[in-house]
Amino acid sequence: ESHIANDSWEKVLYDSAKSSLIFEIVDREKSIGDTVAQSLLSYFRNVSHDYNRQMVQKIYAVSFKELSRVAKKYIKPLFDPKECKTTVVCHPSKVNEVSDAFK
């Protein structure tokens, strides 16, 4: 939240987030069977067969400057109780911990 409020971002976290997201997408097609499954999902979702490749390219192309612009528009409202209702689903043993984090 402090990153959004102060509009200050750490380059290491930015790079790490991009790498993590790209890895997650690439990992969906780690075998021939996975690739076939992704192809079928693309068909059912009515998206291009190379949708995952396009997403990886778009994520890779996101600039540090764009991060600030997009965060203000889409992420900041998620932390404003006047703009957004938040629901958290967690294990019953974590309720107090999660509740305290939001106070």
Confidence class for position 59, pLDDT limits 50, 70, 90:
very high
What confidence tens digit (pLDDT) does each residue in 12-42 have?
Answer: 888 999 999 999 999 999 999 999 999 999 9
Q: Which residues contact 78 (CB under 8 A, 6 or more apart)?
A: 84, 86
**Between 1 and 7, the higher pLDDT residue:** 7
DSSP string over 82-95: TT--------GGGH
Instruction: Give the span between the Cα atoms of 95 and 100, in whole angstroms.
Output: 8
Quick check: 28 and 55 in contact, CB under 8 A? no
Domain coordinates of the chain in residue numbers? 2-101
Q: What pTM, to 2 d.p., does this model score?
A: 0.66
Q: Report CA dihedral (53, 58, 64, 69) to the nearest 10 degrees.
A: -140
